[in-house]
Chain A
Amino acid sequence: MTTAIEVNCATGEVIERPLTAEELAQREVDAAAYAAAEAEREAAGAAALAAKESANAKLAALGLTAEEIAALSK
Chain B
Amino acid sequence: MATTYKKIASVTVGSGGASSIDFSSVPSTYTDLVIKVSARDTTANGEFYLRFNSSTTNYSDRWLYGTGTAASSTTNTKLDFFLASSGYTANTFGNTEIYVPNYTSSNYKSVSGDSVQENNATASYTLLEAGLWSDTAAITSVNLIPAGGTFAQYSTATLYGIKNS
CB within 8 Å of B: which residues of A? Answer: 1-12, 14, 16, 19, 23, 26-28, 30-35, 37-38, 40-41, 44-45, 48-49
Contacts and interface: CB of A to CB of B under 8 A. Distances in A.
Nearest to B146: A30
B70 interface: yes
Contacts, number: 93
Given A10-B27, A12-B9, A32-B148, A19 B20 contact: yes
B9 A28 contact: no
A32 B47 CA distance: 12
A14 B27 contact: no
B60 interface: no
B56 A7 contact: no
B47 A45 contact: no
B26 A5 contact: no
Contacts of B102: none
Given A9-B9, A33-B78, A23 B20 contact: yes
Nearest to B10: A7
Nearest to A24: B19
How would you classify the secondary structure of chain A's contact residues: helix, strand, loop or mixed? helix
B45 A34 contact: yes
A27 B146 CA distance: 8
A34 B47 contact: yes
B58 to A, nearest CB: 15
A40 B20 CA distance: 25
B69 interface: yes
A49 B71 CA distance: 11
Interface in B40-72: 42, 45-47, 49, 56, 67, 69-70, 72
Nearest to B45: A34
B88 to A, nearest CB: 14
B23 interface: yes
